[in-house]
Amino acid sequence: MPQFSTPPPTPQHALLSFPAPHVLLVTLNRPRELNCINAQGHAELHAVWEWMDEEPGVWVGVVTGRGRAFCAGADLKEWNNRSNNTTNTNTTPMPPSGFGGLARRKGKKPVICAVNGICLGGGTEMIINSDLVIAASRTTFGLPEVKRGVVALAGALPRLVRTVGRQRAMEMVLTGRMVAASEAERWGLVNGVVEVEAGATDEEVSRRVVERAMRVAGEIAGNSPDAVLVSREGVKLGWEGIGADEATAMLSDTWVKRLYDGENIKEGLRAFVEKRKPVWVDSKL
């Protein structure tokens, strides 16, 4: 394992690994429950993404699922037990970052979802708020909350419409129907689809999707970590509905001076002049 300034968390319901320089891979690890996330799992994932944002040596995160599902949403058995037990005060509240630590995450480093299979409810809310999405061709996405009498309240509803448009968003959330990976790609919800054969094992599907996501993560990690953070923030400001001029001014006032004072911009310019590959240092932003 690489050397870190602080040790990584040790979640019970997810596996952490570091398969490439500066890249964290998080594997949801409740395959028998289709990687439904319970209250403890939300708190654990919140801690993982918080650690990644503060750890200088980690620049990009990738999240996937073990088994045939990426994440089938909330642990409805736990939710039902909690709803029926009015005297139980021992419940873990949802973290401020929302479902899976991603649905309302305000973190600064990019996260790629490597979606290996079923992605429903809160799982879909996670991918809507991630930065890039790579999906296996067998993947199905959906927000079936209306079929259970509940509502997708982890941040997906207002953000989905900005990604796929009003009519498509309404179709997903009001009917609760499943959307295939190829359709999600046409809608702009998915960046790329990895074709897998019908007889491929869960392990093979996961491996191929993660490999594709890791190639993208490697491309990101090959760039200046300072420039990646600031560029990502600029895109997010526009996506959250702020006007272009206001977003640019906020970006300049908040981030640009720190970017210009950093070492990576100087290294990038020197490398260009010297016609060599830049050697980036961990971001101090």
DSSP for 229-256, written as a single string: HHHHHHHHHHHTT--HHHHHHHHIIIII
122 with 71: CB under 8 angstroms?
yes
Residues belonging to the active site = 74, 122, 125, 145
114 with 213: CB under 8 angstroms?
yes
Q: Length of the chain in residues, anyone?
A: 285
Return the structure tokens found at 231. Answer: 């560029």
